[in-house]
Amino acid sequence: MLKMRDFPSCFGENGVQVADASCSSVAGVSKAPQNLVTCVYQCRLLEKSCLVTIVWSKNLMGQCLSVEIEDLSHQCLCKVDVKPSLFSKRKGSKSLEVNSCRIDLYWDLSVAKLGSGPEPLEGYYLALVCNGHMALVVGDLRKEAFKKTNANPQLSSAMFISKREHIFGKRVFGTKVQFCDSGPIHDLVIECDTNGVDDPCLFVRIDSKTVMQVRHLCWKFRGNYTILVDGLPVEVFWDVHNWLFGTNFGNAVFMFQTCLSAEKLWKSQSLPDHSVLPWPYSESFSSSKSPGVGFSLILYAWKNE
């Protein structure tokens, strides 16, 4: 049985920590939900591979942005915080020097579309330039980013490693996800009614299609299964203990992790479990820590009473 403390180990091969002590249900600590989205990229900066963590957040003062650059040993090289007062202009830049290298951060949200969360949906860019070379560009206005920064048009092989997001709802929780860089963007919906239900059931739907159903949730409040999306096996891990037995501020946690090993999916098909429809049951989590680890999405789901 998967335990929540095992969630961070899913990124062991990539050296990315995903535990979020402020909202994790591991220790049973009740915290108010936070409206933030955390994205982690791996790219080449300062002549070496680095991790770039982008945090979009929203509070009473407005929208905030934080960009932190670490090496693969998780040593912080630099951090830039863009406070709401700077976001009032909807565009701007910041420069800093790290190890004799100049790093420039540019952003433009002047025509951005915003949803209920803090992360822009479209109509924006966030660009990271190191010594005149574009190291990372996020958003759909890529041409505008290159024009503004005058950066070398040759992009690095930046990889989107993980995303952590807080989602809210009463029974239905939704978000959008892209499991690989060249793949389509999917509508991901989690549905679970735990209020006054004797035997709650958990549904996971992608583009309105039910890809997973877990019955007898009171007995299976933690677990993992494998589904197939865009031809890739995707492991789904869940912990809904706080929804069923926790406090008012308890949140459920879900992780969707792409696995590049086709052998894992074939093995999983020999272990059917009729409580999951229509995709097969996966092998144990302990044997899933293979080098073929791709993108991971962590969702903290908070119930609005």
How far out from the chain centre does Cα 36 lie? 11
Which has more pLDDT, 285 or 143? 143
Q: What pLDDT shows up at residue 280?
A: 33
**Same domain as 154, residue 79:** yes
Most confident listed range (80-94, 146-160, 200-214, 246-260) = 200-214
Residue 247: which pLDDT band, with cuts at 50, 70 and 90? Answer: low
- 42 shares a domain with 28: no
> Which range is least confidently modeled, 159-168, 187-196, 239-248?
239-248
| Number of separate domains in the chain | 2
Inter-residue contact 88 to 64 (CB < 8 Å): no
Give 302's strand partners: 168, 251
Do 226 and 295 belong together in one domain?
yes
Same domain, 122 and 243: no
Q: Which whole number is the average pLDDT over 165-170?
A: 92
**Together in a domain, 15 and 52:** no
Q: Are residues 87 and 181 in the same domain?
A: no
Whole-number pLDDT of residue 24: 35
Q: Which of 125, 140, 160 is the last residue of a domain?
A: 160
Residue with tokens 């206005």: 141
**In the beta sheet, which residues pair with residue 165?**
37, 299
In a domain, 21, yes or no: yes
- Asked if residue 200 and residue 144 are part of one domain, the reply reads no
Query: Is the same domain home to 176 and 299?
Result: yes
Q: How confident is the model at residue 214 (pLDDT cuts 50, 70, 90)?
A: very high
Q: Please report the pLDDT score of residue 85 as a whole number.
A: 63
Q: Quick one: which of 220, 225, 257, 256 has its CA closest to 240?
A: 220
Last residue of a domain, one of 104, 133, 160: 160
pLDDT-wise least confident of 9-13, 47-51, 68-72: 9-13
Residues 27, 176 within the same domain: yes
* Domain contains 78: yes
Does residue 283 sit in the same domain as residue 190? yes
Task: Note down the domain range covering 140.
Answer: 38-160
173-201 tens-digit pLDDT: 999 998 887 788 999 999 998 877 788 99
Identify whether the C-beta of residue 108 lies closer than 8 Å to the C-beta of residue 130: no
Tokens of 110: 């002047």
Over 90: is that where the pLDDT of 163 sits?
A: yes
Please write the tens of the pLDDT for every residue from 248-286.
667 999 999 997 554 454 444 443 343 443 333 333 333
Q: Please report the pLDDT score of residue 81 as a whole number.
A: 87
The confidence score (pLDDT) of residue 6 equals 39
**Tens-digit pLDDT profile for residues 116-140:** 788 998 999 999 998 888 999 999 9
In a domain, 165, yes or no: no
Question: Do 211 and 87 sit in the same domain of this protein?
Answer: no
- For the entire predicted model, the pTM comes to 0.77
Q: Does the residue 88 lie in any domain? A: yes
Beta bridge partners of 192: 202
What per-residue confidence (pLDDT) applies to 99?
Answer: 83
- Residue 235 inside a domain? The answer is yes
Q: Are residues 67 and 22 in the same domain?
A: no
46 φψ region: left (φ > 0), alpha (ψ -120 to 50), beta (else): left
**Residue 224, domain member (yes or no):** yes
Cβ neighbours around 154 below 10 Å, total: 7
Mean pLDDT of the chain: 77
Least confident of 19-33, 69-83, 88-102, 179-193: 19-33
Q: Return the pLDDT at 64.
A: 86
Give the end of a domain, one of 160, 182, 201. Answer: 160
From 288, 291, 28, 42, select the one nearest 159 (Cα to Cα). Answer: 42
Considering the domain boundaries, does residue 210 fall inside one?
yes
Rounded Cα distance, 240 and 220, in Å: 9
- Residue 199's contacts (CB-CB under 8 Å, 6 or more residues apart) are 215, 216, 217, 218
Q: Letter for the amino acid at 166?
A: H
